[in-house]
Structure 1
């Protein structure tokens, strides 16, 4: 079994004065949710996610050798402009990964990043953002240590991304990713995400995700605070038993193509996530009235038409509408006719399953 110490690299055979790399990393949407974590970003239960295709972060990392190696040194640009309010999060991330990437203090870093989806659109960008930064850091490490394997390269990138944002480890590799140890997923780990191990049924090829932007404001309770509230949650232990069972079920469903059972698991998981928020101490609600209106409209439409449209939710008010590729026309018409009115400024984003990071 791989441990944290396996990611400590000290054999840097090449000296580099300056350079740069550019990668894109997608966002992802969990179908089996993780809610609650232990020390060092270790999940309390395993999770499974669809990697998205269009919602991604593009990050260029430039690095130049410096004389003072006592501290981290970096500039952060978002869409070409300095982004000071995000720098503390990057500083904390660099401190967390210092043991595994000691070479970073030798360089001044310029992190130039942008999103393909609207800024502050209510889509979690920490997953794609941290994944993009982590894979760029691994590009620098590969320059310094060319002997590292591709497997190690992507595995460590996922490991580093997790230390920035837990779900970011699911944005590195694969169209479907599992994070957290599970006895039916070979080589699964709490330390990094792994690609879904078996062939998925054609029913799930190019599966669609239309994201309805119900509320673009800042959440009243951050995900970090929400995770912490699971420590003394009255139903936490039951939830931590339920999630692996649901992951087993959805693994079988993805292999056999049963969309009806897929809908049951995915919607149940979404509502369970929000039930954990409703029953924590202190309790809180991240859904909005329009979120509930959309869920009811989806149920009503599915019952009426038998078109297999379903929803999932992240830790917020927005709704991910999931559906097979062969019902795009009918579903998009339904979204335009009946759901857009519940979105803030009528905004929604069309996406689908993607395949992880890309070097640009």
Structure 2
């Protein structure tokens, strides 16, 4: 292999997010426009890293490499793992990077930013997660947010100026979130935090009076799910429960926003639990019924139903489109709850994370 002349390189970090009101069903599949609004909490260290390098080459190409980004090698102590992508997954990443390049002028120029020409360039991308991929912990969201931001940063003629605009201009961050959404819908929520509302094409942070929250994830299995979220979006439309869902969700979103401002954990807990059951009931009642639940999922949910009355304050229990169970709790009580969970479920890994503020450029 000959010497590679690297013209630019950037690494971004983007956190996962856990939705209490779910993104399920689409109005526009090509742009990932949701059929209903969603509301989520952005996490912090349960995240993805993406490294993008621009390399001088006579003919352009985009290559995903199964290796850790260089800037996280020193951090890797078994916690950060490179992703394993299928051929379709690699094509999806490549298509998104091409999309970011194609839209570079509309992203950069309105904010006084310049970018390098992508002519005669090859692009190499490396990605990694701190949690299991494709197991229902929103790895697609964090991955595409990180890939979007790393690509934009690698293209920037002045990375320092780009980073300043990213930190100071909420409109620019929203532009990047919208661009990321076209690769993975829920990735747009990973650009903001901690509490985030995504409605139609718009995504923004929300007011909240809650104390700092943490997410405990009971990992029933780290295996990749058999039914992709994209497939689930299509199948739920055939469920008899789909009728009226947009109305029900809009009502829940309004109630949840009020509860966040009022610091009403009891109301938030009920809304989140209702939404959990409704989304998974859509899966179970579609014309091609399917489930993400495993015996361990049911065991954990039953434990929470029995345990909720015994805890000092309401717990916020939810699940994404996967088998693993999330519980949000005040950060001050997270360690205590984790100990209880570890005793009750010694065979399941328990992940713990705090709330975060969204995607960042780290190199």
Distance of aligned partners of 1:286 and 1:355 in 2 relative to their CA distance in 1, 3 Å threshold? same
* Equivalent residues in 2 for 1:156-171, closer than 5 Å: 156-171=175-190
Task: Tell me how many residue pairs correspond in the alignment.
Answer: 326
Alpha-carbon offset, residue 132 of structure 1: 0.3
Partner of 1:191: 201
Distance (whole Å) between structure 1 residues aligned to residue 83 and residue 253 of structure 2: 41
Residues 132-188 of structure 1: per-residue CA shift (max 9 Å, x gap): 0101122234427969954353222211211111111110122111111xxxxxxxx
* TM-score computed with the length of structure 1 as normaliser: 0.82
Distance (whole Å) between structure 2 residues aligned to residue 359 and residue 244 of structure 1: 34
Distance of aligned partners of 1:78 and 1:108 in 2 relative to their CA distance in 1, 3 Å threshold? same
Indicate if the aligned counterparts of 1:76 and 1:82 stay in contact, CA closer than 8 A.
no
* TM-score computed with the length of structure 2 as normaliser: 0.82
Partner of 2:283: 277
Partner of 1:21: 10
Question: In structure 1, the residue corresponding to 2:305 is in which secondary structure?
Answer: helix
Question: For structure 2, which runs of at least 5 residues remain unmatched after alignment?
Answer: 1-5, 70-81, 106-116
Indicate if the aligned counterparts of 2:50 and 2:125 stay in contact, CA closer than 8 A.
yes
Distance (whole Å) between structure 1 residues aligned to residue 97 and residue 233 of structure 2: 22
- Taking only aligned residues, the RMSD between alpha carbons, in angstroms, comes to 2.6
Partner of 2:128: 114
Indicate if the aligned counterparts of 1:31 and 1:266 stay in contact, CA closer than 8 A.
yes
Alpha-carbon offset, residue 84 of structure 1: 6.4
Distance of aligned partners of 1:357 and 1:54 in 2 relative to their CA distance in 1, 3 Å threshold? same
Distance of aligned partners of 1:101 and 1:74 in 2 relative to their CA distance in 1, 3 Å threshold? farther
Question: In structure 2, the residue corresponding to 1:230 is in which secondary structure?
Answer: helix
Alpha-carbon offset, residue 205 of structure 1: 2.5
Residues 291-332 of structure 1: per-residue CA shift (max 9 Å, x gap): 111111112112134432231000011000111223234312
Partner of 2:148: 134
Alpha-carbon offset, residue 124 of structure 1: 3.0
Distance of aligned partners of 1:206 and 1:105 in 2 relative to their CA distance in 1, 3 Å threshold? farther
2:294 is equivalent to residue 288 of structure 1: yes
Distance (whole Å) between structure 2 residues aligned to residue 28 and residue 175 of structure 1: 9
Indicate if the aligned counterparts of 1:26 and 1:128 stay in contact, CA closer than 8 A.
yes
Distance (whole Å) between structure 2 residues aligned to residue 88 and residue 172 of structure 1: 23
Question: For structure 1, which runs of at least 5 residues remain unmatched after alignment?
Answer: 1-16, 181-189
Residues 227-259 of structure 1: per-residue CA shift (max 9 Å, x gap): 012344333231111111111111000001011
Distance of aligned partners of 1:104 and 1:263 in 2 relative to their CA distance in 1, 3 Å threshold? farther
